[in-house]
Amino acid sequence: MTEILQANVFFFITAMSVVVFTIFLCVAMYLVIRILRSVRNITERIESGSETIAEDIKQLRAYVAQGSLISQIVGLFVKSKRSRTRESADEQ
């Protein structure tokens, strides 16, 4: 083989490997972009969920600050005792 033919074979093999590498790189970048889009969608869902949770906690805090929660809890116990005494009084 002459040197010119060897150089041509080398450049041909190099050009083909660059083309194949570029195709693989494009496919990999396409997959990475799809993964990043999925991650972005997941983070948007998490953000909206955390906003909902924050609103619920705000409402719960306001409910506790007004004393409504404590009075409702105490009311459950008091009502249950009252209903028990009424049932026992009705039975007698």
Angle at 14 between CA 13 and CA 15, to 5 degrees: 90
Token pair recorded at residue 64: 């506790």
Interatomic CA distance for residues 24 and 16, integer angstroms: 12
At 76, list the tokens: 């459950």
Do the Cβ atoms of 63 and 69 come closer than 8 Å? yes
Model-wide pTM > 0.85: no
Sorted by where each begins, the domain ranges of the chain are 3-91
Query: Reduced to 3 states, what is the DSSP secondary structure of residue 39?
Result: helix
CA distances from 7 to 29, 61, 68, 82 (A): 32, 78, 87, 101
- The per-residue pLDDT string of the chain (92 residues; one tens digit each, 9 = 90 and over) reads 688 888 999 999 999 999 999 999 999 999 999 999 999 999 999 999 999 999 989 988 887 777 776 777 777 777 655 555 555 555 55
How far out from the chain centre does Cα 7 lie?
A: 55
